[in-house]
Amino acid sequence: MDGLYDAQGRHIHYLRVSVTDRCNFRCRYCMPGRDIEWLAPDQILRYEELLRIIRVFVRLGVDKVRITGGEPLMRKNILSFLGNVAEIPGINELVLTTNGSLLEQYACGLKQAGVRRINVSLDTLNPSRFTDLAGQDQLDQVLAGLDKAQAVGLSVKINMVVMKAVNSDELADFAALTLQHPYQVRFIEYMPFGSESNRLLTANEMKEQLSTAGYTRLVPETSDESVAQIYRLPGALGTIGFITPISRHFCHTCNRIRLTADGCLKPCLLSNQEYSLRELLRSGISDSELMIRMKDIVFHKPAQHQLDANHKSHRTMSRIGG
């Protein structure tokens, strides 16, 4: 059987690569406490190390790569790196996740580098709430970045982490964005990363809330092979997605593995299982040996997450990568 598979028989062909833990926002979901100690520069994988890992994964059958952070656009020479990734034969899709604050400046360069889609993390459209949630007064910059991305021809997905009693009253406002823009707005169930507070609003509750707001008809769309359940409002240019890691987890279809900025492979976002590659790379491991190690790590990918067992992550989201 060609390709990369785990012990459950899942085909792993999607690699998420964090290039930095740095971010210009201090979002409470991603950086609880906001008292962050950044990784030292020598702890971060160099671009040539990242490219080597990506190339080996592509040889193993990975064909989709997402670049994340922190905020990846903060890393120096990121466009050149993205161009190098896009040129690797076998990569069919190069995607970037961003908070959008630098998107107006970088949108053209991203398109030229070979990025075809961006995912923008945006949890509120309310200016004062944005400042409270992100620690920065930059909502206007993010919205301008979305406009620029659309103008240069980048496909745009907006990821909203829905938090009960925090931003859950804005579902209808986000859904309305799809009426005028070809965005895919994705509502993500809250996952308690080391947090005791219960902010979960399930996808069914979100749909009920949208119905109460007047959006009574959600037309199912053909899946785009993402984890989201996709719908369209009648006449809308864009679509709406619901991502349900809690109420209806999709672990049995998971096709991804993550590489952290400090060189750890995480087979599961919601597991503390991780394997460091950084010192192996810096001690002279060959590509063939690296390939064997990667295949073994993927084979031992957990069958599913353990959030229902009061799991607490040893890393914040900013230290994992979106």
- The pair of structure tokens assigned to 321 is 């990568």
Inform me whether the pLDDT recorded for 110 exceeds 80.
Answer: yes
For residue 225, the model assigns a pLDDT of 64
Inform me whether the pLDDT recorded for 320 exceeds 80.
Answer: no
Any idea where the domains of the chain sit in the sequence? 14-320
| Alpha carbons 85 and 91: distance in angstroms, whole number | 8
Inform me whether the pLDDT recorded for 7 exceeds 90.
Answer: yes
For residue 224, the model assigns a pLDDT of 62
Least confident of 30-44, 129-143, 177-191: 30-44
For residue 33, the model assigns a pLDDT of 62
Confidence of residue 162 (pLDDT cuts 50, 70, 90): very high
Inform me whether the pLDDT recorded for 91 exceeds 70.
Answer: yes
Query: 131-157 in b/e burial notation, b at 16+ Cβ within 10 A?
Result: eebbbbebbebbbbbbebbeeeebebb
Q: What is the mean pLDDT of the chain?
A: 91
Inform me whether the pLDDT recorded for 222 exceeds 70.
Answer: yes
pLDDT tens for 167-218 read: 999 999 999 999 999 999 999 999 876 555 588 999 999 999 999 999 999 9
CATH 2.40.37.10 for domain 14-320, yes or no, is no
Confidence of residue 270 (pLDDT cuts 50, 70, 90): confident
User: Could you tell me which residue, 104 or 30, shows the higher pLDDT?
Assistant: 104
Residues with Cβ within 8 Å of residue 172, at least 6 apart in sequence:
209, 210, 213, 214, 215
- Per-residue DSSP letter, 242: E
| Alpha carbons 231 and 140: distance in angstroms, whole number | 27
Average pLDDT (48-60) is 98
Q: Are 22 and 74 in contact (CB under 8 A)?
A: yes
Q: Are 216 and 205 in contact (CB under 8 A)?
A: no
Q: Phi then psi for 168, rounded to 5 degrees? A: -70, -10
Average pLDDT (236-258) is 91
Q: Phi then psi for 243, rounded to 5 degrees? A: -110, 125
Inform me whether the pLDDT recorded for 311 exceeds 80.
Answer: no
Inform me whether the pLDDT recorded for 223 exceeds 90.
Answer: no
Inform me whether the pLDDT recorded for 42 exceeds 90.
Answer: yes
What share of the chain in percent tops pLDDT 90?
Answer: 79
Confidence of residue 305 (pLDDT cuts 50, 70, 90): low
For residue 194, the model assigns a pLDDT of 56
| Alpha carbons 299 and 9: distance in angstroms, whole number | 9
Inform me whether the pLDDT recorded for 29 exceeds 80.
Answer: no
